[in-house]
A and B are shown apart, each in its own frame.
Chain A
């Protein structure tokens, strides 16, 4: 199941709390700014609740959040469902031994890292980010977790940009989003 079909009444307030900034970070891009959602205490609460309602009691022991906006949504979800929080970071930020996964950008490549030993083989994980665009970052996160034997149950984002077909790039991994932005 993609976004809420029979739309939960909380979704429209969440959607309207997101601010669109034209031409950021460069001309032609309509940037989906979640910082305004974080200023609306009820809408932020509802955002977290919608994820917690979906994932609580499903034996998920890992919530992996992608730097930096995944760090805002991941921990409250992890705390509510009793899972650990695992930050997935840009290179050279994590201090301990890491495993790295390279991924493509529009121009060039980037690298995502995770601490060795943060997760155990057989654990069930969610991956959280604020938004899915092309799906490249989420893919890298899936790979990092699967390389150490973790089962990625689902990827969860506040916003999807469906025209960029990120959902397809996730292959067989399910994606759950609250808001679809065309």
Chain B
């Protein structure tokens, strides 16, 4: 199953085998990090140069020429997908990190976890008001991290154009948590 907006028939024909190839490379690891969780492991996708390249190309095709000047990637797996996209579309890459990793002055956004809270940080000055930004991560689950990322960017006056992930877990309803911001994913996993 795919999540897409309006596409032409030729888009369907061209993209489906690519998406199928990408999906088949993602490994599901049961009971990680704890019992009951079926973990979507993208490291096996990274071992297939063609599938990894197709993944990046699908995002680049969507975002090139759309005047996006910022790709924000969420630590750590967003660091794998974000930079190749940023380089291809001519945008800067902005890492969004756990606390105390970024060395310069930061702004922080707290967000809720299943148990407790966490915090995401961005360097002050990385992004200017009015810039158009993407947020990239490997996967959207509950949407908490992506929300925090969007908050950080919006607080400094950037416009979040879209959130982009390789995988969505639709049962966790992360899409609804994004406050109306569009979400684009390549693969849905139930």
Which A residues are closer than 8 A to B by beta carbons?
Answer: 19, 21, 24-25, 31, 33, 35, 38-41, 44-45, 48, 67-69, 71-73, 75-76, 78-79, 82-87, 89, 92-96, 115, 118
Residues of chain A within 8 A (CB-CB) of B7 are none
Besides A21-B104, A85-B46, A86-B43, 14 new A-B residue pairs in contact (Cβ under 8 A), listed by A number: A25-B100, A25-B103, A35-B95, A39-B126, A41-B90, A41-B92, A44-B83, A44-B93, A69-B79, A75-B81, A75-B84, A84-B46, A85-B80, A86-B46
Pick from A19, A41, A68, A118: contact of B43, CB below 8 A. A118
A-B pair number, CB within 8 angstroms: 105
Q: Give every chain A residue within 8 A of B41 (Cβ-Cβ).
A: 95-96
Report how many residues on chain B are interfacial, defined by Cβ distance under 8 Å: 38
- In angstroms, Cα B46 to Cα A92, docked, is 19
On chain A, the residues within 8 Å of B33 by CB distance are 92, 95
A48 to B93, CA, bound (A): 13
Contact of B49 among A21, A48, A83, A115 (CB under 8 A): A83
Whether B172 sits at the interface, judged by CB under 8 Å, is no
**Interface pair A68/B79, CB less than 8 Å apart:** yes
A-B contact pairs, 9 of them (CB 8 A): A41-B86, A44-B92, A73-B83, A78-B46, A85-B47, A87-B80, A95-B41, A96-B41, A118-B43
Do most interface residues of chain B lie in helix, strand or loop, or is the interface mixed? Answer: mixed
Asked if B48 lies at the interface with its beta carbon under 8 angstroms from chain A, I say yes
Q: In whole Å, how far is B45's beta carbon from the nearest beta carbon of chain A?
A: 9
B141 at the interface (CB under 8 A from A): no
Whether A48 lies near B87 (C-beta < 8 A) is yes
Interchain CB contact (< 8 A) of A85 among B52, B86, B101, B103: B52
Partner of B123 from A35, A72, A83 at Cβ < 8 Å: A35
Contact A76 B104 (CB under 8 A): no
B29 at the interface (CB under 8 A from A): yes
Q: Name which residue of chain A comes closest to B102, CB basis.
A: A35
Instruction: Please name the residue on chain A nearest to B30 by beta carbon.
Output: A95
Please judge, given known A-B contacts A41-B92, A76-B83, whether A19 and B47 are in contact too, CB under 8 Å.
Answer: no
The residues of B that contact A24 with a CB separation of less than 8 Å are: 103
Does B87 contact A71, Cβ atoms closer than 8 Å? Answer: no
Which of A69, A92, A93, A95 lies in contact with B29, CB distance below 8 A? A95
CA distance A146 to B132 in the complex (A): 44
A72 CA / B84 CA spacing, docked (Å): 8
Q: Tell which of B32, B56, B75, B100 touches A68, judged by Cβ atoms closer than 8 Å.
A: B75
B95 touches A72 (CB 8 A): yes
CA distance A174 to B94 in the complex (A): 31
Other-chain contact of A95, B39, B47, B90, B104 (Cβ < 8 Å): B39
Instruction: Determine whether the beta carbon of A71 is less than 8 Å from that of B80.
Output: yes
Residue of A nearest to B39 (CB): A95
Say yes or no: is B27 at the interface (Cβ < 8 Å to chain A).
Answer: yes
Binary A-proximity of B88-112 (CB < 8 A = 1, otherwise 0): 0011111101001111100000000
Most buried by A among B43, B49, B81, B100: B43
B76 within 8 A of A: yes
Q: B53 at the A/B interface (Cβ < 8 Å)?
A: yes
Contact B49 A38 (CB under 8 A): no
| A-B interface, 5 closest residue pairs, ranked by CB to CB distance from nearest | A71-B79, A95-B29, A95-B32, A21-B103, A24-B103
In whole angstroms, what is the CA distance A73 to B82 when docked? 11
